[in-house]
Amino acid sequence: MPMTEYKRKRDACRIKVLDKYEIIGFISSGTYGRVYKARSRDSNDPREFAIKKFKPDREGDSHHYVGISQSACREIALCRELRQENIVGLEEVLLEDKAIYMVFEYAEHDFLQIIHHHLHTERKPIPEVVVKSFLWQLLNGVAYLHANWVLHRDLKPANVLLTKEGVVKTGDLGLARLFNRPLQPLFNGDKVVVTIWYRAPELLLGSRHYTKAVDMWAVGCIFGELLALKPIFKGEEAKMDSKKNVPFQKSQLTKIFETLGTPTKERWPAIEQLPDYSHLSSFVQYPNQLKSVYQLMPGAKSEAGFNLLSALLEYDIEKRISADDALNHPYFQEDPKPVMNVLTQQGIEYPLRRVTSDDIDIKSAKPGQPSKDDSGRPAKKARN
């Protein structure tokens, strides 16, 4: 039987996305495709879902169609292996008309949206018990990823989702990578990942080794941002030049040094081996100001909290705290203790994720427009 016969037969019995799910809104879009909010058509299943539709590589040009995109491949491969309460769960994957649909559990909020809500609407810091519960669960998810040899590589507030009960769900594993394979380098040519404000100093100084410590630095930045309600190291990203030379990120490093002090060989012995070590002499010698910066953060109260923040924002990757050790840090043992469903417990209701209903034709082949971003922040998710 020729392939075309099979195609007809097979397509006839394939489950269609729209037969199974009702699209109730459009959430966001990015270079990868679009994300929709959906619910099951099964009336016994009250759950909501986020359906990520990958646009095929070189969409609209069927002559040059080269199959499902590599990033979709990678994300599906990883998500299929991972199942944990603090990681966004993958319900199923569907294929239809050359497009891939990843069906995820739905999370009502994300950290970025909540930080904005506290900054602009409530104009009050996030309560300590909420920050602590968020951070503990974020660490719990990261510890699970690391135990399974997965590096997230793009941790930032917009990628840390949250259910309306307050359960943290780390998402967007589009850049995540297995690191137990000695056969391939994790650093690929000019592809430096991790959004710049959350990028670890060793990467900014030219290290090509992505390690667990890179994720831990980002967790430290997110912790600081939950307390301060703004990014703690908000540098300007130097763009790649026309020859695709990787630029030196002077502004970002300056922001870090201003707070943590300019690193020295004594404080960070391996710094001498980093490719861009020579640039270090061009920096002013700043003292370590983290303590006073911490005390000025509106949500920061506890001494143990400061100790954990400085352990996460440690220059020397040998000394930077691991996710497992961070979970056992004294900060989490002192009152208020972290809880999983902190929003329900505290009676907090944040505004629901904004979804639009004017563009919910999931089948249209229209390429996704990158979302408009009012703050110039390199975020992919729409927010309220």
Query: Which positions are catalytic?
Result: 154
Q: Which stretch binds other proteins (CB under 8 A): 3-11, 44-52, 332-340, 375-383?
A: 3-11
> 99: which residues sit within 8 A by CB, 6+ positions away?
53, 54, 55, 56
Residue 116 DSSP SS3:
helix
Q: Which stretch binds other proteins (CB under 8 A): 122-130, 182-190, 231-239, 264-272?
A: 182-190
Cβ atoms of 58 and 64 closer than 8 Å: yes
Is 18 a binding residue for other proteins by CB under 8 A? The answer is: no
Cβ atoms of 103 and 90 closer than 8 Å: yes
Place of tokens 């497009």: 99
Q: Quick one: which of 41, 42, 70, 328 contacts other proteins (CB under 8 A)?
A: 70
What order do you get walking across the sheet with 21-29 strand by strand? 21-29, 33-40, 48-54, 99-105, 90-96
Quote the least distance from Cβ 182 to other proteins, whole Å.
6
Hey, what long-range contacts does 251-258 have (CB within 8 A, 24 or more apart)?
252/196, 252/197, 252/199, 252/204, 253/201, 253/204, 253/205, 253/283, 254/283, 256/201, 256/204, 257/283, 257/284, 257/286, 258/286, 258/289
Q: What is the DSSP letter of 363?
A: T
Quote the least distance from Cβ 79 to other proteins, whole Å.
9
Quick note: the x/- pattern for other proteins over 195-234, rule CB under 8 A, is ----------------------------------------
Give, in degrees to the nearest 5, the angle at Cα 159 between 157 and 163. Answer: 90
Quick note: the x/- pattern for other proteins over 88-127, rule CB under 8 A, is -----x-x--------------------------------
Is 147 a binding residue for other proteins by CB under 8 A? The answer is: no
Binding residue count for other proteins, defined by CB under 8 A: 26
Is 66 a binding residue for other proteins by CB under 8 A? The answer is: yes
Q: Quick one: which of 1, 12, 13, 284 contacts other proteins (CB under 8 A)?
A: 1
Q: Quick one: which of 46, 182, 189, 347 contacts other proteins (CB under 8 A)?
A: 182
Q: Quick one: which of 83, 120, 123, 181 contacts other proteins (CB under 8 A)?
A: 181
CA–CA dist 360, 352 (Å, integer): 18
Quote the least distance from Cβ 334 to other proteins, whole Å.
39
Instruction: Point out which residues bind other proteins (CB under 8 A).
Output: 1, 3, 6-7, 10, 65-68, 70, 73-74, 76-78, 80-81, 93, 95, 178, 180-184, 188
